[in-house]
Amino acid sequence: MAPLAASNSAAAPSATTPAAAQAADAANADSAQGASDAAALDKSFEERQQVLDQRSDDNNYQYAVAQHNCYSRFFVNHCLNRARDSMRTVQAQIRKEQLALDAEQRAQRARERDERTALRRARAEAEAPQRAAEDARNEQAYQEKQRQNALDQAQRNAEAPQRAANAQAYEDKRRQHALDQAQRGVTPAQATANQQAYDQKQSDFQRKLEEARQQGAQKAEEREQKQQNFEKKQADAAQHKLDVEARQQQAAEKAEQKRQDQLKQQQLEEQQKQQQQQQQQ
């Protein structure tokens, strides 16, 4: 039963997500329409306020004119009282309309505030599954990291005895080596000198080994150069032989051509002699 409940609870956000998204979309549409209506109402309020302000200014002006005119009449006080009563009547009407306008503006601001609150609530509901999923992923990553840290710490704790044993074995070996040297009568200074001599021998051996390697590389390079020179000489000799044979061939062809020319010349001369003899006969 527990896995079934878990699957149902896991499926619930996915089922509510489209509804919340639709609610958010509807709230956005209503908000856009409400913004347009609010702009129109604000303009209407502003125009009505201008009218009331103008009426108030006109009322004050009319009262001032009436006061001025009353001083030219016989019953001045009576005229002033009537002018004041008329001014107060108009002023009371303007005040009544002003209060109504203020009440409408307060109601409109309250509606706009409620609409903004509803829009924020709808957006929060639409984003709640995503935030919950993100929080769940973050919590899972945090728990996984905590488990990995615990495993690493446990592994380090498990390896601590082995590290301590290795350190102890090294220390025991070092002390045993010191005891062996002491038994052989080797003082610390002598041990240091022996170590330096050994290091010097190793250094000399490495130096000689490096010199031998360099000499071997140099000799190999020289052999390679000699081989290349020999091959070049062989190639030059073969080319020279080909050139000589070509020149000899050309000389033979020229000699043959010359012999053929001479033979033709002799035949031509003989023919001319024969023709001359025939003409003489």
Instruction: Say if CB 20 and CB 126 are below 8 A apart.
Output: yes
The C-alpha R_g of the chain, in whole angstroms, comes to: 61
Instruction: Say if CB 26 and CB 126 are below 8 A apart.
Output: no
Tell me how far apart the alpha carbons of residues 63 and 80 are, in angstroms, rounded to a whole number.
Answer: 9
Residues 218 and 123 in one domain: no
Looking at 84, 107, 129, the residue that finishes a domain is 129
Looking at 105, 129, 153, the residue that finishes a domain is 129
For residue 166, give the amino acid letter: N
pLDDT of residue 4: 37
In a domain, 92, yes or no: yes
Residues 18 and 104 in one domain: yes
Residues 35 and 121 in one domain: yes
In a domain, 175, yes or no: no
In a domain, 165, yes or no: no
Place of tokens 């000399």: 204
- Domain extent at residue 263: 198-273
Tell me how far apart the alpha carbons of residues 43 and 55 are, in angstroms, rounded to a whole number.
Answer: 18
pLDDT of residue 106: 93
Residues 18 and 123 in one domain: yes
In a domain, 8, yes or no: no
In a domain, 141, yes or no: no
Tell me how far apart the alpha carbons of residues 105 and 98 are, in angstroms, rounded to a whole number.
Answer: 10
Residues 25 and 121 in one domain: yes
Place of tokens 């209503």: 30
Looking at 75, 94, 129, the residue that finishes a domain is 129
In a domain, 190, yes or no: no
Contacts of 41 by beta carbon, 8 Å cutoff, 6+ apart: 108
In a domain, 134, yes or no: no
Digits of tens for pLDDT over the chain (281 positions)? Answer: 334 333 444 434 444 445 545 655 655 566 566 667 777 878 888 999 999 999 999 999 999 998 899 988 888 899 999 999 999 999 999 999 999 999 999 999 999 999 999 999 999 888 889 988 998 999 999 999 999 998 888 888 888 888 888 888 888 887 787 777 666 766 677 778 878 888 898 899 889 889 988 998 898 899 999 999 998 999 898 898 899 888 898 988 888 898 888 888 888 888 888 888 888 76
In a domain, 183, yes or no: no
Its pTM stands at 0.36
Residue 87: other Cβ atoms inside 10 A: 17
Burial class of residue 131, CB neighbours in 10 A (0-12, 13-18, 19+)? exposed
Burial class of residue 163, CB neighbours in 10 A (0-12, 13-18, 19+)? exposed
Contacts of 194 by beta carbon, 8 Å cutoff, 6+ apart: 186
The domain tally of the chain equals 2
Instruction: Say if CB 122 and CB 20 are below 8 A apart.
Output: yes
Tell me how far apart the alpha carbons of residues 40 and 46 are, in angstroms, rounded to a whole number.
Answer: 10
